[in-house]
Structure 1
Amino acid sequence: MTFSKNHRILITLVVTALALTHILWDHFNGGIPTHYLLHDKNLPGIPNWLGALALPFFTWFLLYRIAKRVNSSDSKENLKLVVLRFLAALIVSIIIAFCFTFTIDIIDYIMLIIFALAFIFPLYKSEFLLGWVLGSAFTFGAAIPMGFGSLFALVCFVFYLIGRFIKKLLGIKV
């Protein structure tokens, strides 16, 4: 199954509608919140409306990358695998946002597990990043998950390369 431009348009429109609805709800229920870097009010703040403007473009870009990879003739990946990866990242980011909101102290352990898995699985792929951002955007706004998620994907990419190098050194088929 291919991932068409119509799919990308539809998903981007849904994300845009959800982001704008969230901003409108915030506006009429106490004001649009500002999220501060490292949760410190002395550091620069990022208002939710800024992330809501950037989120549709970010979504479109990641969906373009996913479609390009899935639709390529030599791709070993199918759309079902991409959706499963997206859902896994979405669920994990929702769990982390829930734990952050209710101050449940297991986020560090979850992050350690993710870093360990990054040596084995390609957690840097666009579908993981999109799931991460969309799952945590309600709690943290969109801008902070986009920035942190992008850096996180870069670290996962480096870890995956290290993992592949170690497998080759040990003679394990990559």
Structure 2
Amino acid sequence: MHVASNSRRRTLLTLLALCAELAMLAREHLHGGVLSHHLLANPDLPAVSNWWGLLLVPLLTWWTVGRVERRAQHAASGGRSLKPAPLIAFVCALAYGATLAALFAAGSPLVDYVFFGLLALALVVRLWHAEYLLGFVLAMSWVAGPVLPAMFGAVIAVLSWLVHTAGRALWRRLRPGMA
């Protein structure tokens, strides 16, 4: 029954994400057409249409819910609870992405600080977890579409994973008392 409940939750959240993306695209279509966003906000570079969000957002949601459920099962088998952590991570990423999106839309000079702050945050927080990427992409999609934030978020996730993995390996090697 627990597996059926997880599958139902995964499907429901994926459908909810699809409906949200459809609503955003319908709004864009009714207000002048579906937007496209240039890479690095440079008109000389190719543009990516928000239509790709119909594929990306549900797939990212499906993958994220599956990853969280798998980590929760692994934690439960070890006698630990993962319960609030993924939701908190998702909400924090949503808030960070919304802040960045709002500053970008307003043309604020603070965008650079918040943008590079994410790089610094990747050094101390495990930003490779899927819930961070999903929250960031959903928040940023209102300003930059879902594809560009997903690409940037993936780079941040890989950077965070590399730094943390290298740090753990170095710590194991240098830890006193270990032969």
SS in 1 for 2:124: coil
Partner of 2:148: 144
Q: 1:112 aligns with which of 116, 120, 143?
A: 116
Per-residue CA shift, 1:92-117, capped at 9, x if unaligned?
A: 00000011100112222223333333
**Scaled by the length of structure 2, what TM-score is found?**
0.85
Structure 1 residue ranges, 4+ long, deviating more than 6 angstroms after superposition: none
Partner of 1:85: 89
Q: How many residues of Structure 1 are paired with residues of Structure 2 in the alignment?
A: 172
Name the % identity: 28
Per-residue CA shift, 1:29-60, capped at 9, x if unaligned?
A: 11111111011122111111122232111211
Residues 76 and 160 (structure 1), Cα distance of their counterparts in 2 relative to 1, 3 Å cut: farther
Larger Rg: 2
**Would you say the 8 A contact 1:122–1:156 is kept in 2?**
yes
Per-residue CA shift, 1:120-171, capped at 9, x if unaligned?
A: 3212111111111111111111111111111111011112224435555774
SS in 2 for 1:105: coil
**Scaled by the length of structure 1, what TM-score is found?**
0.87
Q: 2:31 aligns with which of 16, 29, 47?
A: 29
SS in 2 for 1:58: helix
Q: 2:22 aligns with which of 14, 20, 34?
A: 20
User: Residues of 2 paired with 1:96 and 1:170: CA distance?
Assistant: 38
SS in 1 for 2:48: strand
Partner of 2:99: 95
**Would you say the 8 A contact 1:52–1:142 is kept in 2?**
no
Q: Which has the higher helix share?
A: 2
Partner of 1:70: 72
Partner of 1:135: 139
SS in 2 for 1:124: coil
Residues 110 and 77 (structure 1), Cα distance of their counterparts in 2 relative to 1, 3 Å cut: farther
